[in-house]
Chains A and B, each alone.
Chain A
Amino acid sequence: MKTNTLIIRTPEGIVFALSLAGPVTRFFAWLVDVACLLVVAQLLNSVIRFLGLVSEDFATALGILIFFLAQVGYGIGCEWWWRGQTLGKRLLRLRVMDAQGLQLQFSQVVIRNLLRFVDGLPGPYLVGGIACLVSQRAQRLGDLAANTIVVRQPQPRQPDLEQLLAGKFNSLRAHPHLAARLRQRVSPAEASAALQAIVRRDELEPSARVQLFAELAAHFKSLVEFPPDTTEGITDEQYVRNVADVLFRPRGKAASASVLQPPDTAVHTV
């Protein structure tokens, strides 16, 4: 079955999930690269026109050679020096990777770029686009030959947790053992849903807002039951806010600073 996630399971039993880039995103990245090449071509044209004053033959020959080298070498050069990225891919947060999570080799970069000559047939990436749509791992022919994939590496937008959650009394913290159990039982998706609900609460219709937080609060209450004195007198929205506070800021401000900001959060895989 064709999906947009590739899971790599290493011999040690470690699992990585990579989001595969689809043909549309890749096409836009390619458009950016084409635009970059056109700009470079314009600049070179000016230089070559100047050289033409000295020798027209030499200038034209140099122009042909440079354009050819740029056409063939742009992708190879960028993807090798930037570890799988061109300007377009950097902009759209895409990266070429070895299909098995190993290091991207120079030969792989060369093969996937040279096979653009076939992927680009007969129109703008028609063969490559169809191959990408049909292939299980969204690979064009060049990727299949080079054993590479193109993955998405979105920069997750970090909500300002201090603004959202801090500064308010959290009655759930009075029961650290229950708070720990809550952190254990809530799945990443549920935690994210609670946080998103808080972040977007002002965008909701009043009735929808009340209903959403009621459902979320009921769900979290079903996972871990806190003593009644802890939850009495607080609204469902406040309850969800307290839950998110427990989940995302385990021990207040100091802890959140150390836990939520790892040394380098930029995904820089392989």
Chain B
Amino acid sequence: MVIDLEKFVLAERPYWAELEAMLVKLEADAALRLELKQLQRLHYLYERTSADLGKLVTFASEPETRRYLESLVARAYGEIHETREKPHRLAPLDWFFQTFPQTFRRHAGAFWLSVAITMVGVLFGLGAVALDTEAKGILLPFGHGEMDPAKRVAREERDGGKHLEGHKGTFSTHLMTHNTKVSITAMALGMTWGIGTIVLLFYNGIILGGVVVDYVLAGQTKFLIAWLLPHGSIEIPAILIAGQAGLLLGRALIGRGSRQGLRARMRSAAPDLVTLIGGVAVMLVWAGFIEAFLSQYHGPQLYAGKIAFGLVEVVLLAVFLARSGKRGSEFRVPGSESPLQTSTPNSEPKTQNS
């Protein structure tokens, strides 16, 4: 077939321009919802432009026009075949109080696995430091290895938290950023089929177990609880949830028991990973504040209040994760971006490297 190119382009160009104008509108405003007639028109223009592209593909001397049409069809294809809902408004409170706990509950198994791995580490740390005095210097970071708990308690009770005067803000943000980095790493290491996440959780468990047994053996249990509970009640669950996200990523990568392909599994897991790690970041901001502005103040008169505060936090967190967002529907296809949204496997495009 020989095409009269000039006539062809002149005839079809208005349709291309119309399609492009619609695409620009759709891309600029994520909240835009087209009416049925507009959708039908978009679909018609997409099909017409696709047909034009099909005609031009065999036409030798029009690389530019062909590239333009390819770009246009690709954009329209993305709009028409995308089944995941676009986030059309910012709703941080809904996200934190509904989406986050719902996502957490949907993958509760991975969380309990994360807890179990950490507990094995805790037991290892407990045993190592209790049975081998030299292990303390090797296993415990942040100067705890060389520190005598009794001396530290005496010094800090005498000091009354003055050592942080003028540095609380810096200390707080340092804690927030450091712990968030560790959490992101715990999640990202899920790409090592979850092995890296397991190692990181296990190592954190060792440190926790080592510190706990060190202070308990030194007779400083009350100090230890009053020191760790106010911030640890949020910080430790946050790291465990980051581990949950890492294990989730590892599971998506391995795909055991799933009929979906790797790409489909990854596509499903991505929104949940982002939700979990976002929730972890919020929790760590809170923990960072508490650690800098409350946990480091020591004194026998403060311990009961600090422990009570920590216990209240534990209860509230447990209720939040177990109950928050229960009213809304939780029937949701795992990984889809909106409630009750299903994927359409038939529209999955075929890809190949050439």
Contacts and interface: CB of A to CB of B under 8 A. Distances in A.
B352 A9 contact: yes
A60 B169 CA distance: 8
Nearest to B166: A57
Contacts of B84: 102-103, 105
Contact of B352 (A7, A10, A13): A7
A12 interface: yes
A32 to B, nearest CB: 23
A247 B61 contact: yes
B181 interface: yes
Contacts of B349: 8-11, 100-102
A203 to B, nearest CB: 22
Residue from the set A61, A99, A183 with the largest chain B CB neighbour count within 10 Å: A61
Contact of B353 (A2, A118, A265): A2
A91 to B, nearest CB: 20
Contacts of A235: none
A117 B185 contact: yes
Contacts of B60: 183-188, 190-191, 247
B68 A14 contact: no
A147 B350 contact: no
A64 B174 contact: yes
> Chain A interface: which size bin?
35 or more
Given A99-B351, A265-B68, A270-B74, A114 B184 contact: yes
Nearest to A112: B270
Interface in B5-56: 5-6, 9-10, 13, 16-17, 20, 27, 47, 50, 53-54
A200 interface: no
Most chain A C-beta atoms within 10 Å of own C-beta, residue among B67, B168, B192: B67
A101 B74 contact: yes
Interface in B167-184: 167-170, 172-174, 176-177, 180-181, 184
B270 A111 contact: yes
Nearest to A109: B274
Contacts of B81: 10-11, 102
9 contacts: A10-B81, A14-B54, A14-B73, A62-B173, A99-B263, A118-B189, A191-B63, A265-B64, A269-B70
Interface of B: 1-2, 4-6, 9-10, 13, 16-17, 20, 27, 47, 50, 53-54, 57-71, 73-75, 77-79, 81-82, 84, 86-87, 166-170, 172-174, 176-177, 180-181, 184-185, 187-189, 191-192, 196, 249, 253, 263, 266-267, 270-271, 273-274, 277, 337, 346-354
